[in-house]
Each structure stands twice: as structure tokens, then as C-alpha cells.
A and B are shown apart, each in its own frame.
Chain A
Amino acid sequence: MVEKIKIIVNEDKCYLCGGCAGVCPSLAIKVSSSKWEFFQDKCISCKICINACPVGALDFEPLEG
């Protein structure tokens, strides 16, 4: 079974480039011109966004249960 995770952003590192939203297969990330948002209910825990970030601004935390 896939471990359920929460994607977290290091806002100091993030350039709001939108790449993570672009590679997310489930629209779980929205990047506007001023903020990065994560939608837990849509996340499928694939971690594609974490690898794709050009600067390593994303990480994850395991979710309990």
C-alpha cells in the first residue's frame, strides 16, 4: 500500500515557477503568482513533484493512519 504523505514547501527556496503543479498528475498543487498551495485530498503520494523541483524546495511528511 502506498504511504500517504503531505507535500511541504520551503517557501524561502521556492521560486513559484509552477513546475511542481505542471508535473502533478492530480492537480494537487496550485501555484499562483504570489503563493504555493497544496490540496491533500487530491494528492496520490507519487512524489513526482519533489524530484521535479529544480531547486529542491519540496519535501514530504508521512501522514498517520
Chain B
Amino acid sequence: MTEIMKYDVVVVGAGIAGPIVARNVAREGYSVLLVDKKPAIGAPKQCAEGINISIFERYGIPYDKRFINREIYGARIYSPSGYELEIRYKKVSGVILERKVFDKMLAFYAARSGADVLSRTEVEDVIRENGKIIGVKAKHEGEPVEIYGDIIVAADGVESTIARKAGINTYAPPHEFDSAYEYEMLIDGFDPELIHLWFGNDVAPRGYVWVFPKDEDRANVGIGINSDNPKTAKYYLDKWLKENNIPSKKLLEINVGVVPVGGFLKELAKENVVVVGDAARQVNPMHGGGMAEAMKAGTIASKWIVKALEEENLELLKNYTTEWWEKDGKRLERVLKIRKAVERLTDEDLDVFIEVLSGTDAEKIAEGNYTEVIKVLLKHPKVLMSARRISLLKELL
């Protein structure tokens, strides 16, 4: 027999954006159900687990040592020929999370705020009545469930089944995705206070190799490459490990996934369906980080969901699209433009840029202040010697 449930808001997917929405809406007194297909929320992870320290205060998340694996003080960037650029802050700038704990705790905060949470609940389709979506069909531990909701939130990741079934066009060309592959492994010889990033067209086409330290000798070692590459992400990561004489027989985890790195969704809400996080491709296209963007989008979405429920006017959900595009869409479109220019850099360009930039410039890049750095590069003799480099950089001003 099919179980029937009814909520004000049904949130599909308990990654980052979903629990933020569920928590914020439940806090305002509305009934919320958060579902996730995985039996254990947060596992397996599809993430390098690094995030800026500012998110804890900004999104009201406790700074809880249970999910903070390591505090990070900066980053070191490596060019194809081995030039290095380092940013090192005096204070903690970021953390390496334990996503398996973090995601579950976000769902726990949602539950503690009043939301119901059901793991191992796989949503398969939407339920329509007279053409309007009134709920979702799911299976909870294999048993059929019909969950009715005034508002449905598609936080179901890159697959975005619910958004697509709701008729929201989530298509992006294959070049706008990265394929990612990561080992959590034992690895020696890297400063564990910093994250480490390697660039190069033979190293990681369009992307980079990362080492995000967890212990002194344990790290997430991963790679992201353009997903239309004829070779796999695994091929490139294994090649990099071999070329750098890094032993790869102490692998504690293998994590894989596809990351949306561009072509943001134009329509984030349609009738009573709202799309957030990876499902809406709300990811920074430069570095592929999606957690902070998911939190931002989830915060905006939950504000408009609450207003729509308060005023019993679903039209207000459209304001989520408007506000996100004004606040974050424009910024990310600019980042996407820069990433597209970076994609055109040769290994020699990367060597020159990383060689001539200072730690202060790198800090500006980390803050998203690209213009100042482009101006610095445009004054450097090694850049001025190449008309192509000048033209590429001027496009970005």
C-alpha cells in the first residue's frame, strides 16, 4: 500500500543546498520534509571538502570540530614547469571538512529546526493534477510513498531529475561540465597547512590537480578535467601520481562525479518548483567549488519560499530567480568568462603568469578580484612581449 504524506515544502536532496533550505523554512514554522536517496546522508562524498572559513558565520553553521578535519592557512599553486605561487595567511582562511559528517549535521540542524528528514528515500517522479505539480512519487526503503507539497525544491544534484521532470530546462553543453576523480590517500611531502593546486594542459586539461590535506600524511588527491575530454579523469590523475613518483597503493577512498562548471540555469523557479545547488549548476566555474554557492542560493531560495507561503502567492518564487541572478549570477557569469580565457592559456602562459604573480596578487584572485591582477599582468615585460597574451588579458578588463 502506498503511504501518503503532506507537507508545505518537500526538499529533494540532502547535499548542501537542500538542508539549508529545509532548516531555514522549518525555522519559520512551516512543515518541511527533506529526503535523500542515500542510506547515509553525506556518503559517498563527491567533493574535495575544502571551504572558506567565512561560511560558518554567514550561514549560521556551528564551527563544530566533529566535521572540521583540518584548518588551512592558504594555498600553493604550481605551474607546468614548476614555478610556485603561495598565499599564506596569518589566520585560518579555510577548512577541510569531513563531508560525511558535515552533510549529516546540516540535515540534523534542519531536523532540529522542525523539518522531517527521511534518508533512503528515492524520488522517482513528480505527481501532477490538471497539469500542475502537486507532489512527488518516491520509494522509502523500497516501499512506495506519495509526498504532497505546496512547494517542491529540487536539490537533487547534477542529475536534476526533479527539475527536468518539472519542465525546467537544465541542459548545458558537455563542455560546461568537469569530470572529477579523487583518492583519499596517504601522501607525504606536502605542507599540510596549505591546499596545493597543479595546473597544466598535460596535467589536467581545463582543470587542475589538487591535494587537500587531512592529516600530516593523508589528503584528498583529486583532479577535474573537461568532461568532453576523450580520456578519463582517472587516467590523468593516475598519470600525475606516476610522473611525480607518488605511491598510490594506500587508497582509503575513491570518489567520482561530474561537476557543472558553467551555463547557469536561467529559470530557477517554475510554478511551485524551485531548483538549488548543483541541480541549478550554481558552482564557481573557475575552481568547481559548489558548497558556498549552494549555501548562498539556498539562503535566497528559502527567503522567497517563506514569503510565498506567508502571502500564499507562489508567483513570489520567481523573485528567487531575479535575486540570485542579480547577486550571484552576474558575478559567476564574469568568473565563467575568465575561466574560458584561462582555458585558452598554453603551458608557457601558465608558467609566465605564475612566475610573475606575487602572493598579494594570489590573495586578490582568491578574493575574486581578478581585474587588479589582470592589470598587474598587463604591466609585466614578459606579458608585454606577447601580443596574444595582451589581447587575451584585455578581453577580460
Contacts and interface: CB of A to CB of B under 8 A. Distances in A.
A49 to B, nearest CB: 9
B284 interface: no
A33 B232 CA distance: 23
Contacts, number: 81
Nearest to B157: A18
B181 A19 contact: no
Contacts of B257: 17-19, 54
A15 B227 contact: no
Interface in B167-197: 171, 174, 177, 179-181
A31 interface: yes
A53 B39 CA distance: 23
Determine the main DSSP class of B at the interface with A: mixed
B236 to A, nearest CB: 10
A30 B161 CA distance: 9
A48 B174 contact: yes
Contacts of B159: 18, 21-22, 31
B228 interface: yes
Interface residues of A, number: 21
Given A19-B258, A22-B260, A25-B171, A52 B227 contact: yes
B174 A54 contact: no
A48 B174 CA distance: 7
Interface in A16-65: 17-23, 25, 27, 30-33, 48, 51-56
A33 B179 contact: no
Contacts of B179: 19, 51-54
B258 A22 contact: yes
A59 to B, nearest CB: 12
B177 A22 contact: yes
A33 B122 contact: yes
B234 interface: yes
A33 B62 CA distance: 30
Nearest to B164: A27
A51 B227 contact: yes
B160 interface: yes
A51 B229 CA distance: 6
Listed residue (B158, B159, B181, B257) with the most chain A CB atoms within 10 angstroms of its CB: B159
B39 A23 contact: no
B27 interface: no
B146 to A, nearest CB: 18
B204 to A, nearest CB: 12
A54 B234 CA distance: 6
Contact of A55 (B39, B46, B122, B232): B232
Contact of A15 (B157, B177, B232, B256): B256
Interface string B337-364: 0000000000000000000000000000
A15 B230 contact: no
A23 to B, nearest CB: 5
B37 interface: yes
Contact of A56 (B122, B158, B232): B232
Contacts of A15: 44, 254-256
A61 to B, nearest CB: 19
B377 interface: no
A15 B179 CA distance: 13
Interface of B: 37-39, 44, 46, 120, 122, 157-161, 164, 171, 174, 177, 179-181, 227-230, 232-235, 254-258, 260
Please name the 7 residue pairs, one residue from A and one from B, whose CB atoms are nearest each other, closest first.
A19-B258, A22-B158, A52-B227, A54-B233, A54-B179, A54-B256, A54-B181
6 contacts: A22-B160, A51-B174, A54-B234, A54-B258, A55-B234, A56-B235
